[in-house]
């Protein structure tokens, strides 16, 4: 099987060990998929949601069509904490039971709304360039549906992909990305000295707070342009820009088009 980095993968009959460098969210559409763990073979029903931790997995395929989202723990943490801060999604989960306590994978039948999400993904895959332009948006939508749903086991296993999602540093950084909070105040909120805060920020994000914040604000602006009908000035304000001209200039530097031109070229009315 080729390394899974696309939205839909077709696999002929074979058994193999899959080494994944990222976490995987898998939705079998057709065929027969099985996973081997501790000498036990488990059949994964079509229409199930399968979560695979990054690492080595022993899988067996028989003419499978799979919808696959691959995501690093860092990107997942960014999405989860943003959902927590912007949409008041609770990311704390102390649920534990025999169903989700062990294994490096988890499988469950999805709720109706999650199943419909994957059905919509099947329809949208017919759009050329769908993956490149919209994968992150649809992935955030899927994570929102899981975290806001009632399947406590699925929520817990998704959160386990992220080792630091409840960390005070993460909450502070992501919680203030769209507020112009001084770095000294963020250090205080994180219960760190300014030096320690800067060191942790550099270790985690490999850039300065200013550059990282600008990147997140522009990415949010991109998302709002593609998923809402808000005006350009509204989007600039929501993304913590007080000067519309500066916002347009910054956006064009990153995406090689003004906000208006970018929306016209890329927005799809589903």
Note down pLDDT in tens along the chain; length 270 residues. 333 334 445 444 555 677 788 889 999 999 999 998 878 889 999 999 999 988 888 888 888 888 989 888 878 887 887 777 667 676 666 677 777 666 788 999 999 999 999 998 888 777 766 656 677 788 889 999 998 888 888 888 888 777 544 467 877 887 788 888 899 999 998 888 999 999 989 988 889 998 989 988 998 898 889 888 899 999 999 899 999 999 999 999 999 999 999 999 887 664
Tokens of 225: 């342009």
Ordered by where they begin, the domains of the chain are 8-71 (2.60.120.10), 73-160 (no CATH), 177-266 (1.10.10.60)
Q: Which among 101, 99, 9 is positioned nearest to 59, based on CA atoms?
A: 9
- 48: CB partners within 8 A, 6+ apart: 27, 28, 107, 108, 109, 110
Longest CA pairwise span in the chain (Å): 62
| Distance from C-alpha of 228 to C-alpha of 62, rounded to nearest angstrom | 41
The three-state secondary structure class of 3 is coil
The three-state secondary structure class of 97 is coil
Instruction: Give burial (CB, 10 Å; 0-12/13-18/19+) of 79.
Output: buried
Q: Are strands 23-37 and 40-44 parallel, antiparallel or unpaired?
A: antiparallel
| Distinct helix (H) and strand (E) counts, the chain | 11, 7
Give pairs for 259-266: CB < 8 Å, separation 24+. Answer: 259/221, 259/225, 259/232, 259/235, 260/232, 262/222, 262/225, 263/225, 263/226, 266/133, 266/225, 266/226
Beta-strand ranges (E) seen in 111-236 are none
């Amino acid at each position: 099987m080729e390394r899974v980095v696309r939205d839909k993968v077709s696999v002929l009959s074979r058994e193999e060990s899959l080494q994944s460098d990222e976490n995987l969210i898998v939705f079998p559409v057709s065929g027969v998929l099985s996973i081997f763990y501790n000498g036990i073979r488990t059949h994964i029903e079509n229409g199930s949601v399968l979560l695979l931790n990054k690492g080595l997995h022993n899988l067996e395929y028989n003419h499978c069509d799979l919808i696959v989202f691959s995501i690093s723990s860092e990107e997942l943490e960014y999405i989860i904490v943003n959902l927590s801060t912007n949409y008041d999604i609770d990311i704390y989960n102390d649920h534990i039971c025999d169903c989700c306590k062990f294994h490096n994978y988890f499988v469950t039948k999805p709720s109706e709304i999650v199943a419909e999400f994957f059905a919509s993904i099947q329809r949208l895959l017919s759009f050329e360039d769908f993956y490149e332009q919209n994968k992150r948006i649809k992935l955030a939508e899927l994570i929102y549906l899981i975290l806001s749903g009632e399947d406590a086991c699925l929520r817990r296993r998704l959160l386990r992909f992220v080792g630091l999602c409840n960390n005070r540093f993460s909450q502070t950084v992501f919680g203030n990305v769209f507020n112009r909070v001084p770095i000294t105040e963020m250090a205080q909120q994180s219960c760190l000295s300014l030096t320690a805060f800067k060191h942790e920020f550099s270790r985690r994000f490999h850039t300065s707070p200013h550059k990282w914040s600008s990147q997140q604000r522009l990415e949010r602006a991109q998302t709002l342009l593609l998923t809402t009908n808000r005006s350009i000035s509204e989007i600039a304000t929501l993304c913590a820009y007080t000067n519309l001209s500066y916002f347009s200039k910054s956006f064009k530097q990153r995406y090689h088009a003004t906000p208006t031109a970018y929306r016209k070229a890329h927005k799809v009315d589903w």
